[in-house]
Amino acid sequence: MKKIEAIIKPFKLDDVRAALSEVGVAGMTVSEVKGFGRQRGHTELYRGAEYMVDFLPKVKLEIVVADDDVERCIEAIIETAQTGKIGDGKIFVTAIERVIRIRTGEENEDAI
């Protein structure tokens, strides 16, 4: 099993969620986060004063899938989240040792 974490632009969330549903993802966790990468934030104008916005709003998706489904999920995220502009985000894939569904006690892929 693998955990896929994707940091994407907030306005792409609905498209990515729909694409992941089409490839069979049954559940996900979504968090509103802030951060920056190479773009290092940007300047904005507020009431005539310019100020630096260091952390940009992003959305973090977390899904756990079987090893066989990882590539399909990554492709779905890239195809729907990519704008071609700086700040499109990142995808992180990590191994998961064990998953337990609290309600039933099911484990691993049965618990996903």
Our CA angle for 106, 111, 112, nearest 5°, is 180
pLDDT in tens, 48-101: 776 666 778 899 999 999 999 999 999 999 999 999 988 899 999 999 999 999
Q: Provide CATH code, domain 2-111.
A: 3.30.70.120
More confident position, 51 or 19: 19
Amino acid at 79: E
Looking at residue 85, its pLDDT comes to 87
Say what the pTM is.
0.84
The domain ranges of the chain are 2-111
CA distance 12 to 78: 11
